[in-house]
Amino acid sequence: MQSSSSPHGRGFDRLLAVPLAVYLLLIVVLVSGVFLTITRKAVAEAFSEPALLYAIKLSVVTSVAAALLSVAVAVPAGYVLSRRRFPGHFVADTILDLPIVLPPLVMGLCVLIFFNTAIGRWIDRGIVEEGLFVYQPLGIVLVQFIVGCAFAVRVIKAGFDSLDPRYEDVAMTLGANRSQTFFKVVLPNIIPSLVAGAVISWARIFGLFGPVLLVCGTMRGRTEIMPTTIFLEISIGRIDVALVVGACMILISLTVLVIFKRLGGKGYLW
């Protein structure tokens, strides 16, 4: 709800708006600088390489898959954490925050160390000889999921917290069972939170770099995604191509955010 306009205190309000204006200007200047620096030659060079097109495709596919998997786990996890108090609830809630507060590189190191244990090696190479996760595209999804799922749980749990439990009590009083109440009453009322959880999770993992590099490397045509492409191109001095990839990431992210805000309407959570 917007506050009513008042002639009193407008000078103070303008003063408060100065930090916002400065920060917005900073973001616009920085982002615009990427697009203004790009040349047509760099764009043609970048998109003439099959490896770059593969990196874009792999980035989109893995990040979307990881975000959907995060939501699939976050919905039941968020509901249990919101509605139930069980032994170890505080411990579980605290552990859930680790992927949020720890640097992503540390989480990648934990994954890499796990796959160097006996059980980790069996999981990775016991079924498929060349491996399922380490230096494989599926490993990208795993790392992205581990980092992004905690964000989805937090946002979706907030949606469950904001929904009055009496809605569920009334539905069950009228004859609905637990599953009917959950799918027909609870979930429809937290759709904005579901959308927000999916997009915030995706936004966190789309640009993930360090843990992906540790676990999966950056093999062209196999495990290279857009963030690692930028790293590779800068390391060999092709800054123009790196700028093109960065611009693509900005456009993809901006498109998703605009769609999200249109879908979320007034219910979006950030």
Over residues 127-168, the pLDDT tens digits come to 777 888 999 999 999 999 999 999 999 999 999 999 998 988
Domain of 148 in residue numbering reads as 40-267
The label of the residue with tokens 């995706």 reads: 202
**Could you tell me if residue 93 is inside a domain?**
yes
Nearest Cα residue to 225 out of 215, 234, 212: 212
Number of domains forming the structure of the chain: 1
Banded pLDDT at 270 (limits 50, 70, 90): very low
Per-residue pLDDT band for 267 (boundaries 50, 70, 90) equals very low
The first and second tokens of residue 27, run together, are: 């973001």
Residue 207 lies in a domain: yes
pLDDT of residue 262: 73
CATH number of the CATH domain containing 195: 1.10.3720.10
8-state DSSP, 2: P
- Given this model, what pLDDT does residue 49 score? 84
Residue at 153 is within a domain = yes
Task: Give pTM, 2 decimals.
Answer: 0.86
Residue 3: pLDDT over 70: no
Q: Indicate the average pLDDT of the chain.
A: 88
Q: How long a stretch of residues is the chain?
A: 270
**Residue 7 placed within a domain:** no
201: its two tokens: 């999770």
Note whether residue 124 is domain-resident: yes
What span, in angstroms and rounded, lies between the C-alpha atoms of 148 and 194? 14
DSSP codes, 254-266 = HHHHHHHHHHHGG
Residue 191's nearest CA partner among 73, 75, 66, 69 is 75
Task: Flag whether 137 is in a domain.
Answer: yes
At residue 1 the predicted structure's pLDDT band, cuts being 50, 70 and 90, is very low
Euclidean distance between CA atoms 20 and 24, whole angstroms: 6
Whole-angstrom distance, CA of residue 191 vs CA of residue 193: 5
Pick from 150, 159, 147, 157: nearest CA to 109? 147
55-to-34, 36, 141, 190, 239 alpha-carbon distances in Å? 20, 23, 14, 34, 17
Q: Binning pLDDT at 50, 70 and 90, where does residue 51 land?
A: confident
| pLDDT at site 264 | 57
Residue pLDDT, tens place only, 161-210:
999 989 888 988 888 888 899 999 999 999 888 988 999 999 899 999 98
In-domain check, residue 25: no
* 180 occurs within a structural domain: yes
